[in-house]
Structure 1
């Protein structure tokens, strides 16, 4: 088949001239071999016989087979790239894939953890030890504030305003925001600053970082990830730093918080980023409305 020959030269072109990774080349090979196998069944084995409706029909077959949008989108990208190569090599008179549209990616709601499960996670550190006290304070702050890990480990001592129950966060793009820490977070950070941090700092007055590692230096992102994974494994939960951030937002919205206030606390520039949490909290919001709105139980009009 001529199309098989073109596929081989295309994959060599990707590997040798475009320096595409081996895994990506293998992905293109799988996608395009499947398409060419479909075309062969239609009796199409030459590039100049390839038409737009053949490609559309192939993608429709994938949909009928129940393939995911992500798979179909990837196949569409592979087909477009291959057809552009055929145009470049003048194997076709026009690009048959130019009007192909990839399906939109399926947006899954953020994964969250119930408040009762997070209570279990927060109680895992041994607070009789300096590192355990630090870990409890970190976890409390992360869940109470919804910070990103990079923002958490970037905090300095001066960024925590214990008397106000707030912290000052320097977010993406250099934007500053004030975020509540809450009474529990404030209490644990206060205890950490009084008891554990001075010993971890080893009397080094120059280190400004709030959360320190066992060497007395600023804790890294990787260090926090390892710490969280240890406690998640011990508690039997599947939790990442972003799970805590998602849970922070969802739990606030579930309990009636204003979405603009949550957007501000998360440091989202676009409202759409915060609105992604709404599908996870809609049932709870309906329950709150039914329980509290004076007209929620009114009789329907026939």
Structure 2
């Protein structure tokens, strides 16, 4: 089944243009599913039945996995077997009628403007590491890009004169502007700190660690967590929180939904629309707490 999985992943990459993270997630889910099916004596896609997949779902649930994890696995199964059907590798779709567990949607954590200011003021800009951290946080909040996009930015992707970055996507480049605060933070990092962190190394990526190598996702997560703790922010903050906050703050200050969609790189505007609804709920919450005649 390895060949079938690889063929499907190539299809996702070349035709569907999904992100690298999505490819990795699908391949991991499929390898896990077929390892379980192999133990049941099933070694090809055409042998798989709806009963097999329902049994596999029950197996996942007995592992005490989160409903969202099981639901994602079901989505992977559907995509894979629908592709197999499309390519005439199977005659019927075994995922038909398969019902994933209900996932309770939790609204993502959003920082207030004051909390963002507090967080972004934490790095010690008297040290090269602090100057770098300040630049990363300012640029992340100024652009709303994903952490994966931040750590893969190259020096050539940043236009300091016109204040925009270029994010490399499968089928096109996405241009995202940033303001003077982020510009000054990045300029300061490039002029004062990047060379110190690089040492004798040469590197095309913009942000590097203390060893002169590109900073990793895990490395950025540790940086963010340290400053969240230092700031005394009790909310459950993840690297994606600044992206959510960027979107909400733009919409609350009058940005149109289409522009926010383009800056975030959402292919479907309904994804961006979630932030509009969240902004309304946030304003309603503030109103209820503050208005004297609520």
TM-score normalised according to structure 1 size: 0.61
Aligned counterpart, 2:188: 191
Aligned counterpart, 2:224: 228
Contact 1:155 1:169 in 2 (8 A): yes
Q: Secondary structure at the match of 2:240?
A: helix
Offset of residue 108 of structure 1: 3.4
Structure 1 residues 34-68: Cα deviation after superposition (integer angstroms, max 9, x where no partner) = xxxxxxxxxxxxxxxxxxxxxxxxxxxxxxxxxxx
* 190-199 or 107-116: bigger deviation: 107-116
Q: Structure 1 residue aligned with 2:40, among 7, 10, 17?
A: 17
Mapping 1:98-177, distance limit 5 Å? 105-171=103-169, 173-177=170-174
Aligned residues: 210
d(CA) in 1 for partners of 2:279 and 2:140?
A: 21
d(CA) in 2 for partners of 1:184 and 1:243?
A: 19
Cα separation, partners in 2 of 1:202 and 1:276, compared to 1, 3 Å: same
Cα separation, partners in 2 of 1:102 and 1:232, compared to 1, 3 Å: same
Cα separation, partners in 2 of 1:18 and 1:272, compared to 1, 3 Å: farther
Q: Structure 2: which 5+ residue stretches go unaligned? A: 1-35, 43-52, 75-95, 285-294
Structure 1 residues 88-135: Cα deviation after superposition (integer angstroms, max 9, x where no partner) = xxxxxxxxxx97966864433332111100111101111100000000
Is 2:254 the partner of 1:256? yes
Which has the greater radius of gyration?
1
Aligned counterpart, 1:80: none
Contact 1:109 1:276 in 2 (8 A): no
RMSD in angstroms over aligned alpha carbons? 3.3
Q: Secondary structure at the match of 2:133?
A: helix
Q: Structure 1: which 5+ residue stretches go unaligned? A: 1-12, 31-69, 78-97, 287-302
Offset of residue 142 of structure 1: 0.3
Is 2:199 the partner of 1:202? yes
Q: Secondary structure at the match of 1:168?
A: strand
Mapping 1:75-86, distance limit 5 Å? none
* 221-230 or 122-131: bigger deviation: 221-230
Cα separation, partners in 2 of 1:26 and 1:197, compared to 1, 3 Å: closer
d(CA) in 1 for partners of 2:153 and 2:98?
A: 48
Mapping 1:42-53, distance limit 5 Å? none
Aligned counterpart, 2:178: 181
d(CA) in 2 for partners of 1:115 and 1:121?
A: 10
Contact 2:109 2:237 in 1 (8 A): no
Contact 1:146 1:249 in 2 (8 A): yes
TM-score normalised according to structure 2 size: 0.63
Offset of residue 182 of structure 1: 0.9
Cα separation, partners in 2 of 1:25 and 1:280, compared to 1, 3 Å: same
Structure 1 residues 155-196: Cα deviation after superposition (integer angstroms, max 9, x where no partner) = 11121111111111113x353111111110001001111100
Offset of residue 203 of structure 1: 4.6
Aligned counterpart, 1:40: none
d(CA) in 2 for partners of 1:17 and 1:120?
A: 55
Contact 2:167 2:175 in 1 (8 A): yes
